[in-house]
């Protein structure tokens, strides 16, 4: 392996770490206001539907989803760079920002109604990201699909919690 190939491999590995790291940073900001780290008295006092997942499930699910999201963005970036995949990667960053905003609205500000409204923007941004990723890398688009499904479920759950409270 020559120096150029080594540098390229190093850059790709650093890129993977950075894309996953960006996703984990958003996860961390959400975790700061979510039950478990933050006071969960407000959330525990809410009426929830019988099909609300157990609290222990959210951590592993979100860790998996954020990892898949980071890998998806990395796959697009690795092949095209930011310059030639700008719209796809900007869409990814927008949906990631909306993802973090949802946690702040629901848990931080304790406004499930506003979070419910915002999650529709998040779903739209995820869908756009998947579409743009599919034009660059089919695997990246598929890696985002579980996230879309989970946020779809979270939308119904958020709306139900808002409605019954």
Of 4-8, 99-103, 151-155, minimum mean pLDDT range:
4-8
CATH at residue 90? 1.20.1260.100
At residue 52, φ and ψ (nearest 5 deg) are -65, 130
Alpha-carbon torsion (152, 40, 43, 45), positive or negative: positive
Q: pTM for this one?
A: 0.93
60: helix, strand or coil: helix
Nearest to 79 by CA among 24, 12, 33, 156: 12
> Is pLDDT at 22 greater than 80 in this prediction?
yes
CB 74 within 8 A of CB 120: no
Return the pLDDT at 39. Answer: 56
Structural domain range at position 56 = 3-164
The yes-or-no verdict on residue 96 having pLDDT over 80 is yes
pLDDT above 90 for 15: yes
Q: Is the pLDDT of residue 6 over 90?
A: no
Residue with tokens 């998040």: 122
pLDDT band at residue 40 under the 50/70/90 scheme:
confident
Domain count, the chain: 1
């Amino acid at each position: 392996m020559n120096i150029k190939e080594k540098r390229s491999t190093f850059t790709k590995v650093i890129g993977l770490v950075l894309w996953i790291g960006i996703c984990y940073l958003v996860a961390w900001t959400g975790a700061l206001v979510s039950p478990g780290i933050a006071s969960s008295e407000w959330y525990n006092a809410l009426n929830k539907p019988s099909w609300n997942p157990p609290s222990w499930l959210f951590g592993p699910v979100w860790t998996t989803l954020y990892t898949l999201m980071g890998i998806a963005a990395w796959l697009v970036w690795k092949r095209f760079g930011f310059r030639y995949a700008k719209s796809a990667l900007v869409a990814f960053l927008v949906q990631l920002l909306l993802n973090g905003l949802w946690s702040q609205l629901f848990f931080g500000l304790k406004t499930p109604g506003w979070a419910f409204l915002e999650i529709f923007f998040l779903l739209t941004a995820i869908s756009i990201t998947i579409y743009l990723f599919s034009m660059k890398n089919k695997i990246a688009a598929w890696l985002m699909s579980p996230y879309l499904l989970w946020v779809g479920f979270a939308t119904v759950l958020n709306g139900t919690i808002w409605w019954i409270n």
